[in-house]
Amino acid sequence: MKRILQHPPESLTGKRYWRSLGELSDTPEFREWLEREFPTGAAELKGDEWSRRSFLKLMGASMALAGFGLNGCRRPEAHLVPFTKNVEWTIPGKFLYYATAMPRRTGAIPLIATTVDGRPIKLEGNPLHPASGGATDTFVQASILDLYDPSRSQRFVHKGKTSDRAAFNAYIGKLRNAFLMQRGDGLAFLVAETHSPTRERLRTELEKIFPGLRWVVYEPLLSEAQSFATELSFGGNVRLVPKLERADVILALDSDFLDCGQGSLTSVRAFSSRRRVSAAKDSMNRLYVVENRFTITGAMADHRLRCPASQIPAFAYALAGKILAATKDANLGAVIATLKAPAAAATLDDQWLSEAANDLVAKPGASLVLAGPDQPVVVVGAMCNKGMGVISKAGSDVKSIKDLKGKKVGIWPGSTQEVFIMERLRMEGLSIKDVTPVRVPFGEMPAMLARGDVDAYVGAEPGPALSITSGAGQLVEYPYSTPMGGLNMIFGTHEDTVAKNPDLVRTMLKTHRQAVEFMMANKPLVTDMTVQKLGANRAAVDQALGANNVEYVWKLDGTVQGQAKTYAQQMLELKQIRALPKFDTFLNPTFSNELGNS
């Protein structure tokens, strides 16, 4: 017979242990949840030691009695229909495997796809290929979920209305004929950076048919700067492939090469192979990391140095000087002679710098320096202001910032909205300790407010507009009364682009200005296009634009620069950034001033 274990009573003296943070705080909400999870009625059996046999008797009798009430029910009929055309090579109940690859920015990941009746259900690395060795990354695993995502389009839609394939084919045919007459003039393709032979073949065929088309590659982490540096060092049409398995000393300058986004499976496997010691003759590599934020590569570092992003070029310059002094390398000296010493460089940790340089010099032919693609960013214009809102439950007594005291407020940490609400609380004599902050992503804020999970939230459009138009929320305020104004989004580019291709920057900023002026003068049309192209809620878009809570801008004038400096200072105080940027180079109003005077 199974016996019930009786826990000893809790000691009234000595240390008191708690099982969770909820039990420690012992809030009314926790007590309510505890009562729901373990209701009083569940304790009725306590005191009677039921055997397993008695329990099964009771359950069997209950099921038998329930059967009398279900004798008029029957199993739903389901008809099995065979394939009219069987899937190639399939055997019922057997998996079918295909060797394939997933294109990435730096190449491709060799994969094995497992399919059932022609439907892929699993992706794993190809164990026969050295690039993956049977491993995958998060993007590969997520691609299966994306394939079966119920939010994927399952029908043809034209201007918000359901259409069909015939109408789509007719539209594409009409569009194709129009561009054929123009030889592709006005036709442009905007694509992500990837190495896909199939896409390159299709591009070649399209260029033959439409000679005037433009093929534009865009990626938030575009490796243009790395390609330029590689071409400068080794010539054109080459790709730099670091051999991490051969490196004894590695220095990563703002390079998260162990992350799925910047790195590759090959890099991860090669680096990890030198971290395993299986014999006395094996040696581990040593990793130095200089970065402005905590990354996966930084977590693996033997020596890590926190450094503002704006000062990493200065660190690289100082490192090159120390290596030149130790090696007297003429080629390195010639390269350094062409470089301009970084202005207003911060004081660097000379001991850390010297140790890293000595370690690299001590391993000639087995040392490696990797630079990330994020250096450095320059702001050349403004993009969009406002777009924020403090929303509370409709009909509640939260009608001002002061009323947030003691309330549960949804905030997304690290966001612009966090900076603004912290400043507004300070202006009203409050702090974050006076409210109960709840970590909530922007997309979930309206739903959590409607359910009552939070009393208010500080959100980004279209969240505030959705809550107002649905009747679930009410506006507390648009938080633009701080010295930061309505600052939100900026127009930025890479420092290399400014130096090498200023005409491109001018063209992009001019195009942005034209779009801004058109949208601000034609808000009804902006609403129509937002609804058609993005599937947004029309009432919410009308609310946001009608309340002037979305302001499209382009000028990087003195007001915007002042707001940006104040905003950066607030970010520093909240520890969202570790150091202030060098504003004399970070903010570049030259192009904005030129466009404003033209």
> How confident is the model over 562-586, as pLDDT tens digits?
888 888 888 888 777 767 777 877 8
Q: What is the arithmetic mean of pLDDT over 70-97?
A: 75
**Nearest partner of 591 among 493, 502, 489, judged by Cα:** 502
- Position 258 scores a pLDDT of 85
- The pLDDT of residue 51: 65
Give the max Cα distance, the chain: 95
Closest to 462 in 3D by CA, of 389, 554, 408, 529: 389
- DSSP code string of 419-436: HHHHHHHHHTT--GGGSE
321-366 pLDDT, tens digit each = 888 888 887 777 777 776 777 665 567 888 999 998 899 888 888 8
593 DSSP β-pair partners: none
Alpha-carbon distance 357 to 349, whole Å?
A: 12
Cβ–Cβ < 8 Å for 3, 49: yes
Q: What is the pLDDT of residue 22?
A: 77
Q: Cα–Cα distance between 361 and 339 in angstroms, integer?
A: 21
Half-sphere exposure of 66 (CA within 13 A, CB side): 6
pLDDT tens per residue, range 160-202:
788 999 999 999 999 999 999 998 888 988 888 777 788 888 9
Torsion of Cα atoms, 300 then 105 then 237 then 185, to 10°: -150
Concatenated DSSP letters for 13-50?
SS----SSHHHHHT-HHHHHHHHHHS-GGGGTTTTS--
- Tell me the C-alpha distance between 453 and 435, whole Å: 14
Q: Poorest-confidence range of 34-38, 160-164, 286-290, 365-369?
A: 34-38
Q: How far apart are CA 432 and CA 434, in angstroms?
A: 5
| Among the listed residues 594, 205, 169, the one whose alpha carbon sits nearest the alpha carbon of residue 380 | 594
Please give the pLDDT value at position 400: 92
Q: How far is CA 518 from CA 512, 552, 553, in A?
A: 10, 10, 11
Flag the least confident range among 79-83, 127-131, 242-246, 409-413. 79-83
Residue 113 predicted with pLDDT over 90: yes
How many residues would you count in the chain? 598
Output the pLDDT for position 45.
Answer: 45
Q: Would the pLDDT of 143 be above 80?
A: yes
Contact 265, 109 (CB under 8 A): yes
CB distance 570 to 484 below 8 Å: yes
Q: What share of the chain is helix, strand, coil (3-state, %, to 5)?
A: 45, 15, 40
What pLDDT score was predicted for residue 1? 46
Can you say how many angstroms the Cα of residue 458 is from the centroid of all Cα atoms in its chain? Answer: 20
Look-up of token digits 């080459």:
238
d(CA 93, CA 115): 11
Does residue 391 carry a pLDDT above 90? yes
> Residues 274-292: what's their mean pLDDT?
87
The answer, yes or no, to whether residue 311 has pLDDT greater than 60, is yes
Q: How confident is the model at residue 532, as a pLDDT?
A: 79
Least confident of 76-85, 150-159, 397-406, 448-457: 76-85
pLDDT for 212 beyond 90: no
Host H or E run for residue 121: strand 119-125
Task: State the chain's mean pLDDT as an integer.
Answer: 82
Which positions ≥6 away from 343 have C-beta within 8 Å?
A: 582, 584, 585
d(CA 141, CA 175): 37
pLDDT-derived band at 96 (thresholds 50, 70, 90) equals: very high
Q: H or E element: which one contains 555?
A: none
Per-residue confidence (pLDDT) for residue 151, from 0 to 100: 80
pLDDT reading at 66 higher than 70: no
Confidence at residue 289, expressed as pLDDT on a 0 to 100 scale: 93
Q: Average of pLDDT values for 426-441?
A: 89
Predicted confidence band of residue 557 (pLDDT cuts 50, 70, 90): confident
Q: How far is CA 202 from CA 87, 193, 546, in A?
A: 27, 15, 44
pLDDT above 90 coverage of the chain, percent? 18
Res 282: pLDDT? 81
Q: Which two tokens stand for residue 44?
A: 């009725």
Query: How far is the C-alpha of 195 from the C-alpha of 108, rounded, in Å?
Result: 7
Q: Is pLDDT larger for residue 70 or for residue 178? A: 178
Which has the closest alpha carbon to 191: 199, 179, 183? 199
CA 547 to chain centre: 29
Q: How far apart are CA 354 and CA 318, in angstroms?
A: 10
